[in-house]
Amino acid sequence: MLAIVGHDRQCRDEQSKQPMSVFEFAGHTLDLKQGRLRNGAGDVTLRPKSLALLTYLVRNPGRVIDKHELIEVVWPDVVVSDDSLSQCLKDIRVALGPRAEGFIRTVPRRGYILDEQRLRSYDEGSDRPPPRKLQSTADRPSIAVLPFETAEADQEWFSDGIAEDITTALTKSRRLLVVSKNYSFAFKGRAVRGNDIARELRVQYLLEGSVRLSGQRVRVSTRLLEGATGELFWAERFDRDLADIFAIQDEITEAVVKHLELELLPEEKHAIQQARTGNIEAYHYELQGRQLALELTKSYLVLARRLFGKAVELDPGYARAYAGMVICDCYLRDWHGKDSAPDEILAIADKALHLDPTLPEAHVARGFALFCNERYEEASVSYQKALAIDPNSYEANFFFASTMARFLNDRAKMISMFKQASRLRPDDYLSPMMIAAFLARNDPERLDWARICVERSERASGIHPENAAPLHRGAVALGYLGDMEKARSWLARALAIDPDDFIANVNAAALYAHLGDVEGALQHLKKAARDIPQNTIDMLRNDADFDVIRDDPRFSAILHPRYPGMA
């Protein structure tokens, strides 16, 4: 065993002596002699350990490197957890941006591999080698699918779902570089010109479109544009029965690859079919359920759970719908008193994972179920698996931040992950509120995030005026901004709509605490704290909004580990 380890180290030492000192990949240049990572806009900042990890990966392309080897190299003679490695990989992927998607791939249960075909290397001062022809990023057309527009705000769940599924389908082509929808959807609602979007995302082409849903009919208009000039390559309008939506998506996908002078291989077409449900009604229910569940109110969660349940009735193999059921069940049990057995919820999460072990949402669902069952170490592992599959998964970032990081009172990690979630979902008003809540009161960013929360909450409330969630979250943000009159007005409207909602009362308590109204804060906190589980009590105890009432003995009594609630 010692001889093998020694041999491994000798091999790595010999590799480290190779003369190549400059590496080019995904629009970036890594100069090892200068210790600099650059792109077209200038230097790219990476923490020393993240830079060391990237250096080792580019020096060892094309082979699967296990976690132990990477940890041994980057953290010699230091004991660190896998979390340190995962964080460095996340730093690298964020720094390199969408053009580097897939450049460093996770190989489940084995390690990581860097795509050798997308890497060029040479020694400083030597002539640069000619670019590779077959698989280099430069020779692969690049495209971003922008969020499809809709004239009806309450149909965004459907238009977003179509754009997301077309993005997924295009990624099945190995000859096409597709920007993750989490990057392209960041432009939703922003008045940015197409050429500016293409330049920021560093893509050659843009696919944009619009969707109109009317009863059982759907109209989808799409346009394929050259990013820099806006030149129209292809346009089509599909006016079909709703049942034909998958056929429309396939036709759009095939038209895009055809006009970019590519071709989908048979196995790629098969992969597209496997990536979704084959039942249009199940798809419809799942998309609606996903949109509703994110509001986290009892009425919306109940309806979303019903829709997810209907989706799996229609398609028992629909992994994404099972994952949605788990999220609803956990919130309904822990926040709203639903009598659900933890083992039954976990069994549904395991079902989702069995159906699709590569689905980040399935790992997130299992992590959330484990967290709600107070199995924290296992929950953290599940979240890390989701992030390893897709570091830009909204669900993975949001749920890790709102459960594990908050439970551990790791404010720095929580703020970082909520920021990522906020970027990934431009209509998310909860993450900006949480960022503002946990930033220091004198931090200049705090008011900026509070304004973002108010803007997004106002838009959401305009679309669904019957929903209390954006109102009470926006009220807290207005309190941070000092607009107390408007904050009170928004909170009153929220409590009129849903006076018994758990989070509405938590946020009411937070706002009253911010206003210095101790009695009002404790009254709402007492109402919220009835019949909630231990981990939720622990998170509330650490909530920054309650700093001003934390020393009041009634605060500790209300959030006592075995506080039974009051009539």
**What does the pLDDT look like over 209-218, one tens digit per residue?**
888 888 788 8
| Residues 114 and 193 grouped into a single domain | no
Calpha distance 208→149 (Å, rounded): 8
Same-domain pairing of 7 and 110: yes
Same domain, 342 and 398: yes
Q: Quick check: is 519 in a domain?
A: no
For residue 357, tell me if it sits in a domain. yes
- Based on the fold, state whether residues 174 and 304 are members of the same structural domain: no
Q: Each residue of 187-201: b (16+ CB within 10 Å) or e? A: bbeeeeebeebbeeb
In a domain, 490, yes or no: no
pTM of this prediction exceeds 0.95: no
Place of tokens 């009892």: 298
The pLDDT mean for the chain works out to 80
Q: Is the pLDDT score of 367 beyond 90? A: yes
Q: Tell me, yes or no, whether 432 lies in a domain.
A: no
Name the pLDDT band for 310 (thresholds 50, 70, 90). very high
Altogether, the residues listed in the chain come to a count of 567
Q: Strand 142-145 to strand 177-178: parallel, antiparallel, or no bridges (unpaired)?
A: parallel
Final residue belonging to a domain, choices 425, 459, 480: 425
Mean per-residue pLDDT, 556-561? 70
Residues 380, 268 share a domain: no
The C-alpha atoms of residue 477 and residue 458 are separated, in whole angstroms, by: 11
**Are residues 282 and 421 both part of a single domain?**
yes
Total structural domains within the chain: 3
Which tens digits make up the pLDDT trace of 114-140? 888 788 876 655 444 443 333 344 456
Do 291 and 267 sit in the same domain of this protein? Answer: no
Q: What is the pLDDT of residue 478?
A: 92
Q: Is the pLDDT of residue 253 over 60?
A: yes
Same-domain pairing of 338 and 416: yes
CATH number of the domain bearing residue 33: 1.10.10.10
Confidence band of 561 (pLDDT split at 50, 70, 90): low
Contacts of 223 (CB under 8 A, 6+ apart): 207, 208, 209, 232, 234, 235
CATH number at residue 162: 3.40.50.10070
Taking residues 356-378, report their average pLDDT.
Answer: 90
Q: Got the DSSP string for 429-479?
A: -HHHHHHHHHS-TT-THHHHHHHHHHHHHHHHHHH-TT--HHHHHHHHHHH
The C-alpha atoms of residue 393 and residue 204 are separated, in whole angstroms, by 24
DSSP E strands, 123-254: 142-145, 177-178, 205-214, 217-226, 232-241
Which parts of 60-155 fold into alpha helices (H)? Answer: 67-74, 82-96
- For residues 225 and 310, membership in a common domain is answered with no
pLDDT confidence of residue 334: 78
Out of 256, 276, 296, a domain closes at 276
- Does some domain include residue 117? yes
Least confident span in 37-46, 377-386, 531-540: 531-540
Helix (H, G, I), strand (E, B) or coil at 33: coil
321 shares a domain with 231: no
Residues 264 and 302 in one domain: no
Is residue 461 packed enough to be buried (19+ CB in 10 Å), middle (13-18) or exposed (0-12)? Answer: buried
Q: Are 241 and 314 within one domain?
A: no
Angle between helices 67-74 and 2-16 (to 10 degrees): 60
Task: With respect to residue 300, please indicate whether it lies within any of the assigned structural domains.
Answer: yes
pLDDT of res. 474: 93
The pLDDT assigned to 41 comes to 59
Is pLDDT at 2 greater than 70 in this prediction?
no
Q: Return phi, psi of residue 359, to 5°.
A: -85, 115
Residue 475 lies in a domain: no
Structural domain span for residue 213: 140-276
How far the first Cα of the chain sits from its last, in Å, is 66
